[in-house]
Amino acid sequence: MAAALAKDSIVAVIGSGAMGAGIAQVAAASGYQVRLFDTRPDAVAKAIADIGKVYGKLVEKGRMSGDEAAAANARLHRLGDLHEVDGAALVIEAIVENLDVKRMLFADLEKIVADDCILATNTSSISVTAIAAKLRRPERLVGMHFFNPVPLMALVEVISGLATAQDVADTVYATAAAWGKNPVHAKSTPGFIVNRVARPFYAEGLRLLSEQAADPATLDVLMREAGGFRMGPFELMDLIGHDVNFSVTQSVFNAYYGDPRFMPSVLQQEMVNAGFLGRKSGRGFYHYGEDAAKPVAQTMARQSRPETVGISMEPGVKNAVTEPVELRLREAGYTVTHRKPLPGAGHNEAPGFHCTGAAIFLTDGRTATERANANKHPDTVLYDLQFDAAGATRIALARADQCSESAWLATVGLFQATGLEVTQIDDVPGMVVMRTVAMLANEAADAVNQGVCSAEAVDIAMQKGVNYPRGPLAWADTVGIAHIVTVLSNLAATYGEDRYRVSPLLRRKLANGSRFHG
Ligand code: NAI
């Protein structure tokens, strides 16, 4: 395992915009000598002044001593000319996202720096292999992909191109760790880890919206309050900007030669066409500004509490998803009676709750209407996945078209009795959280299957790079890989689209009975 570059080594940062300034701030605070260069000299002056202000704030908050701030400030230097990078041990490029411009910069740098100087690119979408291709020593170029804002986001994807030397990637990994970051190794493939695996988070939201499952505010609240995500997809796309988010999706889709997994959304294209780019334009899926109305998510009115509830379950079978729901029902004062599934009877599927004639199941990727029909039990209601059934504040329910009003309202009352807000969504396959999580896990599994990164790396990346509450593969372990495969298979059957094809690694794990972690 390679060691980090020694403290006091010279780290040159080329490009002093949002990313370059953040990288410089972190490196100088960690004891490294930082040299900043930009073709716009005023950009460097501004970056150094801004970093000084941030250090000042950290001192006020007691997170840095005055001496540490002064020392870190003293380690930041402006380069007037690119030739002054000559003593650097590491050069990190954070200039415009353009292959030719980046290639030109690295070709220039190679003429200046020592042979053992590591060259790193902060590109988020260009092949590291391609950037390195024309270099005299392509093995010393590596991706060092930080996330915005750099000082706050712990993840660094260390990207190896085809020619990158392992010790170069290892040194950059160890150096990022020495800067207090959480690095992960990845192979240079379109979107690397995060920008690839996160695509379904936005795409399934957009598809659910286009299928009229619910409005954006309702879908967002479900992803937050049931799914445990910090933001829902629509508020997050509004924050990122639809032009930026759409262009990342397009670039990954094109890079994978039109794989339907990554198909961009017509709905989002229209947002871009309209100039509804999100917060920055004052309008996206939401309206911004002082007089903008606050969006209201769908929440069911209070219903009376049903008397009893039971569960059909094979004796001795444990189920990680139904168990916390059952516990919550017990805490609400119910004696949940267990009974064996009755073959051929109305609700013969197990595990399933039953209450006032309603059969209530966790979504398995089929609609409630389809399950009601298959089970010959019209009064069927489905519930969506929750991140943490014990702590969640909301749950989504979907009602079969055939379901009676009394069975539906009894189910709503049952979940409300456990202290949950209940949101009704239209009867779409896979519901909201389950469908998104299944697709995130599928993409994460494919990334691992294709050798892009390890299972540990993908889960760290999604938690540290985009703040997911749990890694997608750990989530698949929790729900049960068998259930995730069922959800995806049912989605694939319903839509007839290759988009929902099950990752071979999920199938393999299912067949050999193993998990991703532990
Ligand atoms: P930015 O536009 O804020 O800053 C880029 C800076 O590079 C500008 O100050 C510009 O004057 C300077 N520059 C342009 N060409 C140059 C050259 N040939 N030599 C020296 N300086 C040059 O851009 P930002 O957002 O900081 O992004 C920089 C890089 O980081 C891009 O490759 C981007 O894809 C990548 N990145 C951006 C993220 C983000 O969220 N903004 C996240 C992760 C990576």
pLDDT confidence of 344, banded at 50, 70, 90? low
Per-residue model confidence as pLDDT tens digits over 373-422? 999 999 999 999 999 988 999 999 999 999 999 999 999 999 999 999 99
- What is the distance in angstroms between the CA of the first residue and the CA of the last residue of the chain? 24
Q: Within this chain, do residues 142 and 206 fall inside the same structural domain, yes or no?
A: no
The pick from 16, 19, 78 for probing ligand 1's pocket by mutation, whose C-beta has the most ligand atoms within 8 angstroms, reads 19
State the closest ligand 1 atom to the C-alpha of 148, by its place in the atom list counted from 1. 40
Handedness of CA 268, 257, 232, 157 (dihedral sign): negative
pLDDT confidence of 294, banded at 50, 70, 90? confident
Q: Within this chain, do residues 220 and 350 fall inside the same structural domain, yes or no?
A: no
Ligand 1 near 97 CB (within 6 A): yes
- Read off the pLDDT of each residue in 409-437 and give the average, rounded to a whole number: 98
Ligand 1 near 342 CB (within 6 A): no
Q: Which has the closest alpha carbon to 467: 274, 224, 251?
A: 224
Ligand 1 near 19 CB (within 6 A): yes
Q: Within this chain, do residues 179 and 217 fall inside the same structural domain, yes or no?
A: no
Ligand 1 near 104 CB (within 6 A): no
pLDDT confidence of 347, banded at 50, 70, 90? low
For residue 406, is it within any domain?
Answer: yes
What residue has token string 């990954």?
252
Tally of CB atoms within 10 A around 416 = 19
- Read off the pLDDT of each residue in 117-143 and give the average, rounded to a whole number: 97
- Read off the pLDDT of each residue in 280-297 and give the average, rounded to a whole number: 94
For residue 302, is it within any domain?
Answer: no
Q: Within this chain, do residues 181 and 47 fall inside the same structural domain, yes or no?
A: yes
What is the residue with the minimal CA distance to atom 28 of ligand 1? 94
pLDDT confidence of 186, banded at 50, 70, 90? very high
One DSSP character per residue, 239-303 reads HH-HHHHHHHHHHHHHHTTT-GGGPPPHHHHHHHHHT--BGGGTBSSSB-STTPPPP----PPP-
Catalytic residue from among 157, 225, 326, 443: 157
State the closest ligand 1 atom to the C-alpha of 20, by its place in the atom list counted from 1. 26
Instruction: Out of 188, 205, 220, pick the residue that ends a domain.
Output: 188
Ligand 1 near 338 CB (within 6 A): no
Instruction: Out of 130, 164, 188, pick the residue that ends a domain.
Output: 188
Structure-block tokens of residue 359: 């059969």
Identify the domain containing residue 230 by its residue range: 196-281
Distance CA 138, CA 110 (A): 10
Residue 59: its pLDDT value, please? 97
The pick from 42, 108, 124 for probing ligand 1's pocket by mutation, whose C-beta has the most ligand atoms within 8 angstroms, reads 124
Radius of gyration, CA atoms only, the chain: 26
Distance CA 240, CA 365 (A): 29
Per-residue model confidence as pLDDT tens digits over 233-247? 999 999 999 999 999
Q: What is the DSSP letter of 56?
A: H
Instruction: Mark whether 157 is an active-site residue.
Output: yes
pTM: 0.96
Distance CA 278, CA 242 (A): 6
Distance CA 271, CA 282 (A): 12
For ligand 1, the distance from its centroid to the CA atom of residue 145, given in whole angstroms, is 12
Handedness of CA 362, 368, 374, 375 (dihedral sign): positive
pLDDT confidence of 313, banded at 50, 70, 90? confident
Q: Within this chain, do residues 110 and 206 fall inside the same structural domain, yes or no?
A: no
For ligand 1, the distance from its centroid to the CA atom of residue 213, given in whole angstroms, is 39
Q: Within this chain, do residues 238 and 184 fall inside the same structural domain, yes or no?
A: no
Least confident of 17-26, 333-342, 505-514: 333-342
Query: For the domain that residue 255 is a member of, what is the CATH number?
Result: 1.10.1040.50
For residue 510, is it within any domain?
Answer: no
- Select the more confidently predicted residue: 506 or 357: 506
One DSSP character per residue, 122-154 reads --SSS-HHHHHTTSSSGGGEEEEEE-SSTTT--
Question: With 0-12 CB in 10 A as exposed, 13-18 as middle and 19+ as buried, what is 344?
Answer: exposed
For residue 415, is it within any domain?
Answer: yes
Ligand 1 near 38 CB (within 6 A): yes
Catalytic residue from among 16, 30, 124, 319: 124
Tally of CB atoms within 10 A around 101 = 12
Query: For the domain that residue 133 is a member of, what is the CATH number?
Result: 3.40.50.720
301-to-304, 333, 420, 422, 508 alpha-carbon distances in Å = 10, 21, 12, 8, 44
State the closest ligand 1 atom to the C-alpha of 21, by its place in the atom list counted from 1. 26
For residue 236, is it within any domain?
Answer: yes
Instruction: Mark whether 503 is an active-site residue.
Output: no
Q: Within this chain, do residues 33 and 113 fall inside the same structural domain, yes or no?
A: yes
Structure-block tokens of residue 379: 């009064």
* Whether residue 174 has pLDDT greater than 90: yes
For residue 293, is it within any domain?
Answer: no
For residue 328, is it within any domain?
Answer: yes
Query: For the domain that residue 368 is a member of, what is the CATH number?
Result: 3.30.750.190
What is the residue with the minimal CA distance to atom 1 of ligand 1? 17
Residue 345: its pLDDT value, please? 54
Ligand 1 near 98 CB (within 6 A): no
The mean predicted confidence, pLDDT, of the chain is 96
Instruction: Out of 408, 424, 440, pick the residue that ends a domain.
Output: 424
Residue 346: its pLDDT value, please? 54
Q: Within this chain, do residues 145 and 266 fall inside the same structural domain, yes or no?
A: no
Per-residue model confidence as pLDDT tens digits over 235-278? 999 999 999 999 999 999 999 999 999 999 999 999 999 999 99
Residue 29: its pLDDT value, please? 97
Element (H, E) at 74: helix 66-74
Q: Within this chain, do residues 140 and 217 fall inside the same structural domain, yes or no?
A: no
Q: What is the DSSP letter of 103?
A: H
Q: Within this chain, do residues 20 and 135 fall inside the same structural domain, yes or no?
A: yes
Tally of domains within the chain: 3
For residue 356, is it within any domain?
Answer: yes
Catalytic residue from among 195, 375, 490, 503: 195
Q: Within this chain, do residues 22 and 136 fall inside the same structural domain, yes or no?
A: yes
Strand-strand pairing, 141-146 and 118-121: parallel
Distance CA 314, CA 161 (A): 51
Q: Within this chain, do residues 76 and 171 fall inside the same structural domain, yes or no?
A: yes
Distance CA 27, CA 20 (A): 11
Total residues found in the chain within this entry: 518
How many percent of the chain have pLDDT more than 90?
91
Helix (H, G, I), strand (E, B) or coil at 354: strand
Per-residue model confidence as pLDDT tens digits over 449-493? 999 999 999 999 999 999 999 999 999 999 999 999 999 999 999
Structure-block tokens of residue 100: 């030719």
**506-509 own/partner pairs: CB under 8 Å, 24+ apart:** 506/441, 506/442, 506/445, 506/476, 506/481, 509/445, 509/481
How many percent of the chain have pLDDT more than 70?
99
